[in-house]
A and B are shown apart, each in its own frame.
Chain A
């Protein structure tokens, strides 16, 4: 990881003398390059440090200190995986994240479609209601949602608690309601930019409203949907608050709560904790590296307008 970055960085990170310039390089530019390279290394450092130590034996580092070299092992990963019971947590995160993301994209694209193409009158007020909802502090919703989740019964074959509380359904619904606002706003901006003639043509051909949405508009929204999906996956996967608030049994909790288990002993094995951190970060890092273009597009979607 470090190797590739330094190789690509044109200036040596601590270079006293800049490399022999082929073209004439202005000194200001060289200073900036060095500044960037040093900052980038500093930025990578915490992750690299966790990565390196996750492969080191605790006994070894306890004896020789962390500034030593050696004691490499895969044991931490095995222990984090088995003792931290990570597979179960990962499955729970999957059960929460995938339905939430699909539901959010479906419902918010429906809402955006109606608001852009059929409801001129309440368009702005509704968008405001949707968008502002996404920015409220979650703590302000905690008590009522907690009570509602406890009060609404679910059959036992769906939820062992007999209520929405402590079931994945509750968490999925709350995520859906909370994140839908932002997505509706972004998608309605996107849909507004589509040529109206497309829908007119579909209408003339006798397509029903749902066919106009599903066959004509939705396929055209694919880039926005992809960008939003990557964002939503990281946001929902990373959520800790609603998991703590709406779930209680250990076998229901998502991966964000798993690290605390690895820590709750008398002494903390930081190498084990590193391995756990790396494993938990892995899915979002993979999403980030594979879908980087979509991720960046998504983060700036809401911002580019206005």
Chain B
């Protein structure tokens, strides 16, 4: 991590990253001295200030709030320290917590089982020069440009209880009773997941297509000469070579499963079978109850999960960038 440039004598600051690190002079002397140094300081300082001030500080503040009780209306002096009470409450007293955690987990597993595998399969198919390959690609990733909320609305036309296509179709063919796909707490999560998968698959396919393009073709040729069939070639040669992209897909999927919010919020504010941690946080914080401390504790639980994967991801990416 530490670059080989010897540090200038005045730069004996302790390690870690001081947020407003003054830009170092490169070995080449700056032509315009002072003016250039001010320009450099501004060019890195303003973006750093924004990222630290509007992302990292608020994240830190959320962690602090999670140990307090606060209605969010009064000033900061009305904060009441309650220790880990909010966390205990979340785990033991708050009814939607475990369903939400379970739903987030189902969301994650589902994203891995269906869109990830399907997206990978489609990428492998489309990686060969097929007729119409470009058109297929466009079709599969078109939903990616739609917001998850809009995806929810579009699928309501299919899922609606009284007028949706699915019930009309089922009723006409099998005479089944109409099902409230988005309303029935036993099935609405899966109905939503199908819609979410519709959008996620194209993204995964795109990532794997990029990854497959980067796989050295001679690997495949060698496998073919050794007499490996297409399936064998993929499992024992291509897939291991896709390791970097697998990591990206893993992280993207975990983060997406944690962040999922729009679609359940639009359907029913994340209640009645559609509980997700993200929706619980939002409901606690901007809802009428306005339980800031408690909502923050839920947010910190999200934060903790995602930080694990963010750290793996960032360190791997940066190790690559360091080369």
Pick from A40, A142, A180, A206: contact of B139, CB under 8 Å: A40
Contact check, A306 vs B51: say whether CB atoms are below 8 A apart.
no
Whether A198 sits at the interface, judged by CB under 8 Å, is no
The secondary-structure label for the interface of chain A is helix
Q: Which residue in chain B gives the minimum CB-CB distance to A53?
A: B157
Interface centre among A131, A143, A273, A274 (most CB of B within 10 A): A143
Contact check, B262 vs A111: say whether CB atoms are below 8 A apart.
no
> From residue 194 to 213 of chain A, which have CB atoms closer than 8 A to chain B?
200, 203, 206-210, 213
Whether B5 sits at the interface, judged by CB under 8 Å, is yes
Contact check, A146 vs B48: say whether CB atoms are below 8 A apart.
no
Whether B25 sits at the interface, judged by CB under 8 Å, is yes
Whether A89 sits at the interface, judged by CB under 8 Å, is no
Contact check, A49 vs B158: say whether CB atoms are below 8 A apart.
yes
Q: Which residue in chain B gives the minimum CB-CB distance to A111?
A: B47
Size of B's binding interface in residues, CB under 8 A: 123
Among the listed stretches B82-90, B232-240, B278-286, which one makes contact with chain A, having 4 or more residues with CB under 8 Å of it?
B278-286
User: Contacts A8-B132, A300-B210: A137 and B52 contacting too (C-beta < 8 A)?
Assistant: no
> From residue 278 to 323 of chain B, which have CB atoms closer than 8 A to chain A?
278, 281-282, 285-286, 292, 295-296, 298-300, 302-303, 306-307, 309-311, 313-322
Contact check, A141 vs B62: say whether CB atoms are below 8 A apart.
yes
> From residue 146 to 197 of chain B, which have CB atoms closer than 8 A to chain A?
146-150, 153-158, 160, 163, 165, 168-169, 172
Q: Which of chain B's residues have a CB closer than 8 A to the CB of A43?
A: 139-140, 142-143, 198, 202
Contact check, A142 vs B282: say whether CB atoms are below 8 A apart.
yes
- Cα–Cα distance between A115 and B51 once the two chains are bound (Å): 15
Contact check, A115 vs B44: say whether CB atoms are below 8 A apart.
yes
Contact check, A143 vs B306: say whether CB atoms are below 8 A apart.
no
Among the listed stretches A71-79, A221-229, A282-290, which one makes contact with chain B, having 4 or more residues with CB under 8 Å of it?
A282-290
> From residue 220 to 251 of chain A, which have CB atoms closer than 8 A to chain B?
234, 237-241, 244-245
Q: Which of chain A's residues have a CB closer than 8 A to the CB of B206?
A: 296, 299-300
Pick from B58, B154, B258: contact of A50, CB under 8 Å: B154
Q: Which of chain A's residues have a CB closer than 8 A to the CB of B285?
A: 139, 142-143, 146
Contact check, B17 vs A305: say whether CB atoms are below 8 A apart.
no
Q: Which of chain A's residues have a CB closer than 8 A to the CB of B50?
A: 107, 173, 176-177, 180
Whether A14 sits at the interface, judged by CB under 8 Å, is no
A-to-B contact residues, CB < 8 Å: 4-5, 8-10, 32-33, 35-36, 39-40, 43-44, 46-47, 49-50, 53, 61-62, 65-67, 107-108, 110-111, 113-115, 117-133, 135-148, 173-174, 176-178, 180-181, 184-185, 188-189, 192, 200, 203, 206-210, 213, 234, 237-241, 244-245, 256, 259-260, 268, 270, 273-274, 276-277, 280-281, 284-285, 287-288, 292, 295-296, 299-300, 302-306
Shortest Cβ-Cβ A-B pairs, 4 listed: A238-B147, A177-B54, A144-B58, A300-B210
